[in-house]
C-alpha cells in the first residue's frame, strides 16, 4: 500500500509539473510580443533598426513617449474613448439587466419565443447593420457625435442571456420573500438579483469595456473629424503615417491604448475569477 501511494504521489507531482510547464510556456508565448513592444518603445531609432535585434536598449529613451504624445492629439483621443466606453458600458449593462430580469422573472405572452428571437440576433454579423445605422444617424444629425458612437451599440444579447441564466439560478424563495416585503420587480432586481450576480456582472462589465475600448470600425465610420476620433482610430492614423513618427514612437503610442484596459483588468480580476468559478459550479 505504501509503494502504491508513493507511485501515485510521484505521478501526481509529475502531472502538476507538466501542467505548470505548459502554462509557463503559454505565458511566455503570449508575453514575449508585449515585452518586445515595451522594449521597442524605449529604444533609439538605431537600436530599433539593428540586426540581429536586441532586447534591451543601452539607454532608456523615455522621451519617445513624450514625442508620441505630442505628435498626435492623444489627450483628445483619451477623452473620447473614456466617454464612449464608460457611457456605452453603463447603458448596455443597464439594458441587459432589465431585459434579463424580464425574461427570467416576469411572465408575459410569447416570452420564450421572443427570447429565442433575441438569441437568433446573435447569429447576425454586426457589420450587416453598419449602413442602416449610418443612414438613421445621418437623419438624426448624430454623425460625428458621442451619441452616434454609443447609442447604436447599447443593446447586448450576450449580456442579457448571461444575466438571465444567472437570475434563473437564484433560489425562487428569495424572489418570493422580496415580493412579500412589498418590493416590485425593479427593486427586486436592484436589491436582490444584481447584488447576487455581482461576479457575473463584473465579468460582463470587463468584457464590454474591452470590446468598446478597442472598437475601431464603427467609430471610424461615424466620425469624420480628428477631435472625435477614439484611441484605436487615432492609433491607426499614426500607423498610416498621418503623423511622421518612427517604430519606437508607434510602440509608445500603442502602449497608450493598451495600458487602461490592463488597469481595468487588474482591478476587475477578482470579480472575473469569481464569475468563472460561479459559472463552473452552477454549470
We report the CATH number of the domain holding residue 160 as 1.10.3720.10
Q: In whole angstroms, give the CA distance from residue 192 to residue 96.
A: 16
Answer yes or no: are the C-beta atoms of 246 and 68 closer than 8 Å. no
Which ranges of 106-150 would DSSP assign to H, the alpha helix? 111-120, 130-140, 146-150
Confidence category of residue 150, pLDDT binned at 50, 70, 90 = very high
SS3 content of the chain, % helix, strand, coil (to 5): 80, 0, 20
Q: Is residue 56 part of a domain?
A: no
Q: In whole angstroms, give the CA distance from residue 138 to residue 174.
A: 47
Q: Determine which helix (DSSP H) or strand (DSSP E) holds 184, and give its type and residue range.
A: none
pTM: 0.81
Is the domain of 214 the same as that of 271? yes
pLDDT digits (tens, 9 = 90+) for 217-229: 999 999 988 889 9
First to last CA, the chain: 37
Above 70 in pLDDT, residue 2? no
Is the domain of 85 the same as that of 192? yes
- The pLDDT, as a whole number, for residue 276 is 56
Is the pLDDT higher at 210 or at 245?
210
- The pLDDT, as a whole number, for residue 8 is 57
Above 70 in pLDDT, residue 271? no
Is the pLDDT higher at 222 or at 251?
222
Q: How many other C-beta atoms lie within 10 A of the C-beta of residue 102?
A: 19
Q: Is residue 33 part of a domain?
A: yes
> What is the number of domains present in the chain?
2
Is the domain of 23 the same as that of 72? no
- The pLDDT, as a whole number, for residue 281 is 45
- The pLDDT, as a whole number, for residue 87 is 96
* Mean pLDDT of the residues in the chain: 84
Q: In whole angstroms, give the CA distance from residue 111 to residue 179.
A: 21
Is the domain of 144 the same as that of 106? yes
Is the domain of 10 the same as that of 135? no
Above 70 in pLDDT, residue 278? no
Is the domain of 192 the same as that of 278? yes
pLDDT digits (tens, 9 = 90+) for 188-211: 999 999 998 888 888 888 889 989
pLDDT digits (tens, 9 = 90+) for 20-58: 889 888 888 888 888 888 888 888 888 888 888 888 888
The residue segments making up the domain with residue 124 are: 63-282
Query: What interhelical angle do 269-282 and 198-213 show, nearest 10?
Result: 120
- The pLDDT, as a whole number, for residue 252 is 86
Answer yes or no: are the C-beta atoms of 152 and 133 closer than 8 Å. yes
Amino acid at each position: 500500500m505504501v509503494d502504491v501511494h508513493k507511485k501515485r504521489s510521484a505521478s501526481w507531482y509529475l502531472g502538476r509539473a507538466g501542467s505548470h510547464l505548459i502554462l509557463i510556456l503559454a505565458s511566455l508565448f503570449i508575453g514575449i510580443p508585449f515585452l518586445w513592444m515595451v522594449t521597442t518603445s524605449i529604444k533609439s531609432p538605431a537600436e530599433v533598426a539593428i540586426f540581429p535585434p536586441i532586447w534591451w536598449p543601452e539607454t532608456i529613451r523615455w522621451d519617445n513617449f513624450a514625442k508620441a504624445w505630442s505628435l498626435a492629439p492623444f489627450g483628445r483621443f483619451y477623452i473620447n474613448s473614456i466617454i464612449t466606453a464608460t457611457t456605452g458600458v453603463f447603458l448596455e449593462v443597464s439594458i441587459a439587466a432589465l431585459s434579463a430580469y424580464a425574461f427570467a422573472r416576469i411572465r408575459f405572452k410569447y416570452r420564450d419565443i421572443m427570447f429565442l428571437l433575441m438569441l437568433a440576433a446573435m447569429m447576425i454579423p454586426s457589420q450587416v447593420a453598419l449602413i442602416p445605422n449610418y443612414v438613421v444617424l445621418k437623419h438624426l444629425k448624430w454623425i460625428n457625435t458621442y451619441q452616434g458612437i454609443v447609442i447604436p451599440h447599447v443593446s447586448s444579447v450576450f449580456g442579457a442571456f448571461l444575466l438571465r441564466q444567472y437570475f434563473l439560478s437564484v433560489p425562487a424563495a428569495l424572489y418570493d420573500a422580496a415580493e412579500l416585503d412589498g418590493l416590485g420587480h425593479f427593486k427586486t432586481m436592484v436589491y436582490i438579483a444584481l447584488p447576487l450576480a455581482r461576479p457575473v456582472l463584473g465579468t460582463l462589465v470587463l468584457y464590454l469595456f474591452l470590446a468598446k475600448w478597442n472598437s475601431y470600425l464603427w467609430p471610424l465610420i461615424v466620425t469624420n473629424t480628428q477631435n472625435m476620433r477614439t484611441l484605436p482610430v487615432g492609433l491607426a492614423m499614426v500607423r498610416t503615417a498621418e503623423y511622421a513618427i518612427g517604430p519606437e514612437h508607434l510602440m509608445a503610442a500603442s502602449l497608450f491604448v493598451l495600458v487602461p484596459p490592463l488597469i481595468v483588468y487588474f482591478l476587475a480580476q477578482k470579480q472575473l475569477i469569481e464569475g468563472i468559478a460561479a459559472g463552473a459550479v452552477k454549470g
